[in-house]
Amino acid sequence: MKTSLDSELETNLELTNNFERFLKHGQRKSVQNIPVLDTYLTLNRNGEHLTFLVDQAGNLYDEKTLEIIYLQEHIKSELRNYVHSLRSKHYGQMIEWDNASTLIPKQAKFKVIDLETGLSFNVQRRAGSKHADVQPLTKEDTAIMKQIYNGAWSWRRKAIIVQTEDQRLAASMHGMPHGGDGIPDNDFSGHFCIHFTGSSTHGSGNVDPEHQLMVYKAAGKLVDYFNEASPYQIADAFLIALNLKEPQILKMSFADAKDPQLDYFLKEKDRLKGIRKRSSHVDKPFSGVLALEFPLEVNMYRENNRVDKATFTFQMIRGSLLEPWTITSISMVS
């Protein structure tokens, strides 16, 4: 299990059951698109590794043949149990800020684990009433945190696990020292912020959508988020992923993970310094429709302080009233 294809942090479980035997009895069906998932089943056949994606129902996907494999129900149930066990080890528990604040009170020390690199460092909560204001404990901890941000401090949000003595909590951090200090000789001038579900910012008191999406990622619940999101939330998630350089979320927002336009945005994210909405979308009713189109005005921040203004018009679809919304295309006008 790993949060994205490029993640260095992965959690493995060696199975003694002979799943290849059950695979032979599975029913294969061609599919147009392989869903974006975080769970893999690898079988060893005479030294050759066969890898399949596993969805929430316990179905397998073969990326090479573009097929879904329906296993027998008792095998799917067993596989779901393994996945649940892996998920609890890899991800964190999603809890409300009030509960998190009790579990990590002021002056509490705990470990922060980055879900992409697997790097970890120790911190102390120093302050914060709406989220946790924390500082690295030592120079070594600060160096590891800076390594997570590729050597440059950044406001970019990242999905993290807050590891206490007996809890793994889903959270989000940024990497920019600011505000009050408190721990001497740690090479960190100020503090940084950690958000949980329902945390808000100091200034506006608003819940930060980027932090909240990263909390979903840290909890391993991105699929749940996209299954329940409105078309407008999908578009917002796409822009957040573009801003935070999150390829897995970009892929999840599109109907086809092999879409050439998606490939363009996967490259564009590395050329952009950032992207922000200039105005909120005007939400049209969508409860009884299967397709929707709406514009969003954005600012795209590039090198040398250049700002490109553009209008993104999102074309959204869903297969039925019970299926999730996805992006089919985005027209861009500068």
Could you tell me the residue ranges of all domains in the chain? 19-90, 97-218, 222-333
Give the pLDDT band (50/70/90) at residue 49. Answer: confident
The hierarchical CATH code for the domain 97-218 is 2.30.110
Q: Which residue has tokens 């945390």?
A: 199
Q: Measured between alpha carbons, how far is 266 from 250 in angstroms, rounded to an integer?
A: 7
pLDDT of residue 295: 94
The residue type found at 18 is N
pLDDT of residue 12: 95
Hey, which of 32-36, 39-43, 116-120 has the most confident mean pLDDT? 116-120
Give the pLDDT band (50/70/90) at residue 15. Answer: confident
Residue 281 pLDDT more than 90? no
Residue 46 pLDDT more than 80? no
Q: Measured between alpha carbons, how far is 38 from 4 in angstroms, rounded to an integer?
A: 6
CATH, domain 222-333, list 3.30.365.10, 3.10.450.50, 2.60.40.10, 3.20.20.70: 3.10.450.50
Q: Which two tokens stand for residue 272?
A: 């952009």
User: What is the DSSP code string of 158-189?
Assistant: EEEEEE-SS-EEEEEEEE--BS---STTSS--
Neighbours of 204 (CB within 10 A): 8
Least confident of 36-45, 134-143, 307-316: 36-45
Percent of the chain with pLDDT over 70: 100
Q: Measured between alpha carbons, how far is 117 from 24 in angstroms, rounded to an integer?
A: 36
Q: Measured between alpha carbons, how far is 56 from 53 in angstroms, rounded to an integer?
A: 10
Give the pLDDT band (50/70/90) at residue 80. Answer: very high
Q: Which two tokens stand for residue 206?
A: 């608003």
- Give this prediction's pTM: 0.95
pLDDT digits (tens, 9 = 90+) for 222-259: 999 999 999 999 999 999 999 999 999 999 999 998 89
Q: Which two tokens stand for residue 331?
A: 């027209």
pLDDT digits (tens, 9 = 90+) for 262-279: 999 999 999 999 999 998
Residue 195 pLDDT more than 80? yes
